[in-house]
Structure 1
């Protein structure tokens, strides 16, 4: 793996509130007024387990949910995006950049809340790809992180499928909803990114899906 000469390193730009367009989804800066109805329908009810490992939710009523969205929309770190499903033009999930550290070129993807209709779809993969590509290719970051509760098997499987390398376990790292959280750390670094990028591009290509929209090759296999 290449060791970079950092003698001329300059802090990277912080990500801005701007849309990122893909083939299946478009990421838009979270707008609580514009996206609130769709997100309430997508995130409340269909998948109760969605909130198990997040530090907030589920929400018993619309008022606290809207207040939560407003706070997220005003935040610069985390910087939240709504995931817009292109065929329906509806917001079907949320995710963010967070722990944005321009001086070190380090940034994290997190606060992922994908509605049931979005889970295990090409759009869910593309949403992460759009943030990863923007961080590495447009903004020039060196390190992209993914962290989750070590009990969150779904998130850990997703990180590994998406090409993040497991780096270790931070024991008793946090208290979340009154429970201990051991945190599993994953990352992609810039020296790994070209191969990860190529695998993403090949997986998302039109010819990797059959007439029913099912994948022909797995993302993991395309990295081998």
Structure 2
């Protein structure tokens, strides 16, 4: 059974259609990497799948509360320690234990440090560690390795592979090699929207514009 099924999806960005007619499915253990030139709509598509904005057309079928989304914002509370941040997010998601996430992202030696005192790379690792405590089977990732050095990229790749091996799935936009040899690649270039098409969601009411 698919964790995610997308059919004939069309999305918009800034009042303009970005991509249209996009279809794919993700089964447990599968990863799909979105590719395409800057501005084509990778981030917009990911945000739509994550439920952060409506689709223009098409269907997105998945179980409720199955998505953990990670984008450019790390979602951290600066006054809380590394451990306290992860405990907070675990409680939000009704997720799992903190200790394995600290170990996976090499944060154990920073466990008691306030998030505000972390470097950019350390904050990024902590932001990604949220995925590991979420307990959500579908990870939706927008350029997840920004600010990470090479060892941290490799460490995150290990975490993604472990997630897939445990029956999870991942949908991501990245140009970095995470060592996911089994991942499929979907180039969005052929799905670029034709000019002049309506960029309002189905059911759009001008009275609320």
Q: Same fold (TM over 0.5)?
A: no
TM-score by length of 1: 0.29
TM-score by length of 2: 0.31
